Amino acid sequence: MISMKHKIMNYMALMCVAAATLTLPLLLVGCDREVSSTKSSSESSDGTVKSKEKTVTQSPDGTTTKTEESKSTISTNKP
């Protein structure tokens, strides 16, 4: 008959192996790398501020992704 101490040790070993198996793929995937980033903004005579942001990222498998974001804000501080 297996003692309680051996059951606990087997359970702990099983949990350690399961945790390592679940976290290993996350460590191997990696993160995206930012290749370039550009930010620009301009203000028009009516107080509207337009800003643009362009970002290029590269994933670990070599594919690149371009993201372009534009925002327009109306200023409330008019003279």
Q: What is the pLDDT of residues 7-55, one digit of tens each?
A: 888 999 999 999 988 888 777 666 778 889 999 988 888 888 899 999 9
**Residue found under tokens 């362009």:** 54
67 vs 53: CA distance, rounded Å: 8
Instruction: Identify whether residues 9 and 24 lie together within a single domain.
Output: yes
pLDDT confidence of 79, banded at 50, 70, 90? Answer: low
Bigger pLDDT: 75 vs 15: 15
Q: Both 19 and 49 in a single domain?
A: no
Give residue 75's pLDDT band: very low, low, confident or very high (50, 70, 90). low
Please report whether residue 9 resides in a domain: yes
In a domain, residue 65? The reply is: yes
Q: Is residue 1 part of a domain?
A: yes
Predicted TM-score (pTM) of this structure = 0.50
Judgement on whether residues 23 and 40 belong to the same structural domain of the protein: no
| Higher-confidence position of 45 and 64 | 64
Domain count, the chain: 2
Which structural domain, as residue segments, surrounds residue 19?
1-30
User: Is there a single domain that holds both residue 3 and residue 35?
Assistant: no
- Strand (E) positions, the chain? 33-43, 48-58, 64-74
In a domain, 79, yes or no: no
- Report pLDDT for 18: 92
Classify residue 77: in a domain, yes or no: no
